[in-house]
Amino acid sequence: MPDHEGNGHSIIAKYLRQDRLPHIWCPACGIGPALNCFLRAIDKSGLDPDKISVISGIGCSGRVAGYVKLDSFHTTHGRAIPFATGLKLANPELKAVVFSGDGDLAAIGGNHLIHAARRNVDMTVICINNFNYGMTGGQVGPTAPYDVRTSTTPYGNFESPFNLPLLLYASGATYIARWTVLHLHQLENTMTEALLKPGFSFVEVISPCPAVYGRMNKEPEGLDSLKSYEKRSIIKNGADPKDVGITQNGPIIVGKFIDVDRPTLHTNLAVVAERAKKQVKNS
């Protein structure tokens, strides 16, 4: 057999804590492929791994922090973003990456999400959107489409979901993209771009949760969900975020939606800090 040089698995061996395998995720869960892309994106970005910090909240998606061979922190539920903000303020040299779930980021952590985007904190947020709280038994979450079945909405969800790209756009995020775990090459490239983008970047990953969400919604196998994504996905780079909301059986618009430049919290803070220093000196 030829050598492994340059192959995907040498990248995985470099960044994945293989001593922790098998991981806790259910068979056919989408978090694994998303993590795989993330590890490759780190390598592709050329960033110094010693300067990357991965921060997760609580949930199945939140377990990612424990599987990377990088500095990482597993915070309390919903608090990955404020932790990352603090980290970044204390040590601006670090690249802060938040990897967590829809419930963690958009429900209990929803305020942190919008305010970090508003401030344009220099960080990348990767959100595994499986439309429910997978870890705790599949309760309805803030991204669950209208009328889907979950363990707390067994007769259909009567709430309306967040359209995450629109929420993040309105809040001021400078990079917003969405892919499903079937668009893996695109996801890898997008994650690389997001890692290198100054300011607040947000990558939504539509991901199967066969064990609880799928089972309640006629997608008991992970493959059922992938086939549904295959049928429903439409690639529309530059799509208007207001047009990308997800419904129970409607199209899933994927692509890079937003890529703009705006001064980050750090640049603005540096300007004001300089001004403050001068004024204090003159007084």
Partner 1 sequence: MKLWRTPFDHNHSAEPLAYVFIDRERCKGCGFCAEYCPCDVLKMGSELSSKGYQLAVVKDGDKCLACGFCELICPEFAVKLTINNKVHSEIKS
Ligand X SMILES: Cc1ncc(C[n+]2csc(CCOP(=O)(O)OP(=O)(O)O)c2C)c(N)n1
* Strand-by-strand arrangement of the 52-56 sheet: 71-74, 52-56, 95-101, 123-129, 200-206, 175-180, 252-259, 233-235
Binders in 100-159 for partner 1, by CB under 8 A: none
Is position 37 an interface residue for partner 1 (rule: CB under 8 A)? yes
Residue appearing with tokens 């595994």: 128
Closest separation between CB of residue 90 and partner 1, Å?
33
Is position 135 an interface residue for ligand X (rule: CB under 6 A)? yes
* Pairwise CA distance, residues 228 & 251, whole Å: 10
* Pairwise CA distance, residues 75 & 83, whole Å: 7
What is the gyration radius of the CA atoms in the chain, in angstroms?
Answer: 19
Binders in 158-217 for ligand SF4, by CB under 6 A: 209-212
Is position 131 an interface residue for ligand SF4 (rule: CB under 6 A)? no
Out of 185, 218, 231, 275, the only residue in the binding site for partner 1 (CB under 8 A) is 185
Strands (E), 4-103: 52-56, 71-74, 95-101
Closest separation between CB of residue 228 and ligand SF4, Å?
15
Of residues 127 and 253, the one with the C-beta less far from ligand X: 127
Closest separation between CB of residue 8 and partner 1, Å?
5
Query: From ligand X, ligand SF4, partner 1, none, which one binds at residue 58 (CB under 5 to 8 Å depending on kind)?
Result: ligand X
By CB under 6 A, which span of 48-56, 102-110, 111-119, 250-258 interacts with ligand X? 102-110
* Pairwise CA distance, residues 259 & 44, whole Å: 19
Residue-wise burial string across 244-260, b where 16 or more C-beta atoms lie within 10 A, e elsewhere: bbbeeeeebbbbbbbee
Out of 56, 75, 100, 130, the only residue in the binding site for Mg ion (CB under 5 A) is 130
Q: Which two tokens stand for residue 67?
A: 């599987």
Is position 111 an interface residue for ligand X (rule: CB under 6 A)? no
Query: From Mg ion, ligand SF4, ligand X, none, which one binds at residue 180 (CB under 5 to 8 Å depending on kind)?
Result: none
For residue 273, the one-letter residue type is: A
By CB under 6 A, which span of 64-72, 94-102, 243-251, 266-274 interacts with ligand X? 94-102
Q: Are 178 and 255 in contact (CB under 8 A)?
A: yes
Of residues 61 and 174, the one with the C-beta less far from Mg ion: 61
Q: Are 110 and 81 in contact (CB under 8 A)?
A: no
Q: Peptide bond before 142: cis, by omega within 30 degrees of 0?
A: no
For residue 37, the one-letter residue type is: C
Out of 111, 136, 237, 247, the only residue in the binding site for ligand X (CB under 6 A) is 136
Helix (H) or strand (E) holding 200: strand 200-206
- Residues at the contact surface with ligand SF4, assessed by CB under 6 A: 25-26, 29, 31, 60, 130, 134-135, 209-212
Q: Which residues bind ligand X (CB under 6 A)?
A: 58-61, 77, 100-104, 128, 130, 132-136, 141
